[in-house]
Amino acid sequence: MKTKTKKIFSLSVLVFLCIAVFGLVGAVSAQEDTIETILNNRYGGSVNWIGPLPLTEISFTQTTSVVLVYVDDHQAGNTDPTGWYETDSGIKHQLFATPTKDDNTQFNPCEEFGMYIDSHDSQSPPNYYTIYSQNSKNPDGGIYARLYQVTGGDHSGAYVVAFEDLLTTDPNYDGDFNDVVLELKNVNPIPEFATIAIPAVAVLGLFLFFNKRKHKKE
């Protein structure tokens, strides 16, 4: 009887240990890197990048004949096919069917463009939707992309677009912005209207003010 109790006890301990070990492995494998860790790993520490920049309508112009794009990371349950789109027409051009860390390619948009990901691509609308770098184009107008600038190191001058692949209404939304992380080279971000309009209005105001004073003196 005693031996039987011992055996049952040993077996229970073994089962408990197995559950604990596998549980731990599962927890570790499910853990994702933060966007900050991804950027630090790729760009050699936080001294070499800044952001997120205060831009929610994220779109670009190219500075040379080709734009280079590199997948810094893809940490999400969805496949998230990724590409660029024409800002005027919204026409999409897929670059990566299954974006994977270190994938890279180049493209020549010849016009103003943004980046997109197709979320829940295995499902049908409304669960399947496209997330754009310009928040105004998103299904709910929400901000699902962040822009970072690489300011030092080997990739200085590059920009990084970091996507969240789920709408805030999705029960699995986590706002980690590490779902697809893209590096772009040979691009300039297009400033938003407010960032151009405010200084322009200020300059115009000063011009009118001094012009009025000049006329008064005359």
Query: What residue ranges bind Ca ion (CB under 5 A)?
Result: 32, 75-76, 164, 174, 176, 178-179
The Cα 86–Cα 36 span in angstroms is 29
C-alpha closest to that of 70 among 45, 43, 92: 43
Give which of 18, 40, 10 is closest to 148, Cα–Cα.
Answer: 40
For the bound state, the minimum distance from the C-beta of residue 178 to Ca ion, rounded and expressed in Å, comes to: 5
Contact 135, 144 (CB under 8 A): yes
Question: Nearer Cβ to Ca ion, position 179 or 183?
Answer: 179
CB of 26 to Ca ion, least distance (A): 17
Task: Pick the closest to residue 145 from 31, 35, 45 (CA basis).
Answer: 35
Encoding tokens for residue 142? 């929400």
Question: Closest separation between CB of residue 72 and Ca ion, Å?
Answer: 13
Q: How far is the CB of 92 from Ca ion (least distance, A)?
A: 21
Contact (Cβ atoms closer than 8 angstroms) between residue 155 and residue 185 = yes
For the bound state, the minimum distance from the C-beta of residue 209 to Ca ion, rounded and expressed in Å, comes to: 49
Looking at the Cβ atoms of 58 and 167, the one nearer to Ca ion is 167
66, 29, 47, 74: which is closest to 149 by C-alpha?
47
φ, ψ at 150 (rounded to 5°)? -90, 120
